[in-house]
Structures are given as structure tokens and as C-alpha cells.
Structure 1
């Protein structure tokens, strides 16, 4: 299932990481989702 949504998520990862740099409180949440979908 994750492969079906991989293009969508990978497209958003850059935005998420940029947001992480701006909104430090979201870093753990971003890291959680990134690790989930990159494994």
C-alpha cells in the first residue's frame, strides 16, 4: 500500500522538512512519518 502513495509522500517530504526547519515543534512528527514511509 505504501508504494501506491509513495510518489505523493515523497513529493511532500521536501515540504515537510522545510516546515520542520521553520516549525521546530513539528520535527518529531515529520521524522516519524518520514521514517515510516522510507523503511
Structure 2
């Protein structure tokens, strides 16, 4: 699934990352985001 703020290659967009920094980090540490 595509995560908000993420592109095709699974890299966080800088603009979205500023808003979703906490959410993205939480998901990354939990292993939800598979790049």
C-alpha cells in the first residue's frame, strides 16, 4: 500500500515529511513501511 507522503520508490517527500515526521518515524520503527 502507498503510504501518504511516500513516492513510488518508498522515499518520503520532504514537504509531507515535515507534517508527518512523527507518523512516518513511528511506522518505520514498527516495520510497517516496506521500502
TM-score range for the pair, normalised by the shorter chain length: 0.3 to 0.5
Greater per-residue helix proportion: 1
In our comparison, the structure showing a higher alpha carbon Rg is 1
TM-score by length of 1: 0.42
TM-score by length of 2: 0.44
